[in-house]
Amino acid sequence: AQTVTQSQPEMSVQEAETVTLSCTYDTSENNYYLFWYKQPPSRQMILVIRQEAYKQQNATENRFSVNFQKAAKSFSLKISDSQLGDTAMYFCALGNNNDMRFGAGTRLTVKP
Amino acid sequence: GAGVSQSPSNKVTEKGKDVELRCDPISGHTALYWYRQSLGQGLEFLIYFQGNSAPDKSGLPSDRFSAERTGGSVSTLTIQRTQQEDSAVYLCASSSRGRSYNEQFFGPGTRLTVL
């Protein structure tokens, strides 16, 4: 069975600072994909960043980057220069074949 | 283009009543997913449709829950004899293919409250 664990239910960060959200996972598959989704208070879930497990290079999307450690099965999200609009629930997800598993989420609050 | 839409956005019902939740996926997307998100919880997978294949119903919590997808497009999630523990946000997502490396596009969800 595939599992995704987010051990930080809540986090906060000052505007303009950097924050890292943790995610660990477990799978017996060698080929899979990892995702971070953002869910603002409006409830609309949107994709933040995606990482293919066969790629060693960490994915980056503007202020968002990941630290993918395949051997450790770790997939953390770093948000640089945090903005008030980054306040949201963040979900880590693991996808393989037709199975997608989500973590319990981390509620991030960016403080002015 | 239009994204995934869901209706109603909010539904309040009495215990024991049946409810139907609707999802309109992005046009052309062959894969459709239903999830349940309880307060403070992650996403719980309910059911998955891919094209004309038999749906994966492995996540449905009880036989009170069912879903169908007509014509490979619109989907309806039905909860019969609702219970208070069914109260949650029900999210629908679609993707262009059924492989889980494709981005899932989510709808805004339906907040169900069972009194």
Mean pLDDT on A7-21: 97
- Do the chains contact at B100 and A46, CB–CB below 8 Å? no
Residues 6+ apart with CB under 8 A from A6: A21, A22, A23, A90, A91, A92, A103, A104, A105, A106, B42
Burial of B82 per CB tally in 10 Å (0-12, 13-18, 19+): buried
Q: Are B44 and B37 in contact, with CB atoms under 8 Å apart? A: yes
Dist. CA A102–CA A34, nearest whole Å:
10
Q: Summarize the confidence of residues A95-107 as an average pLDDT.
A: 84
Summary mean pLDDT of chain A: 92
Whether B32 contacts chain A with CB within 8 A? no
- Number of domains forming the structure of chain A: 1
Least CB–CB distance from A102: residue in B43, B56, B99:
B43
Range of the domain at A41: 3-111
Ordered domains of chain B (ranges, CATH): 14-93 (2.60.40.10)
- For residue A88, give the nearest of A67, A73, A107, A69 by alpha carbon: A107
CA of B82 vs chain A CAs: smallest distance (Å): 23
Q: Which chain A residues touch B50 with a CB distance below 8 Å?
A: 98
Strand ranges inside chain A, DSSP E: 3-5, 10-14, 19-21, 24-26, 33-39, 46-52, 60-61, 64-69, 74-79, 88-96, 99-102, 106-111
Chain A nearest C-alpha distance from B15 (Å): 25
Alpha carbon distance B7, A100 (integer Å): 24
CATH of the domain at A74: 2.60.40.10
pLDDT tens digits for range A29-80: 888 999 999 999 877 899 999 999 988 889 999 999 999 999 999 999 999 9
CA closest to A48 among chain B residues: B103
Under an 8 A CB cutoff, do B45 and A100 touch? yes
> Model confidence over B32-89: pLDDT tens digits?
999 999 876 778 889 999 888 889 898 999 999 999 998 879 999 999 999 999 999 9
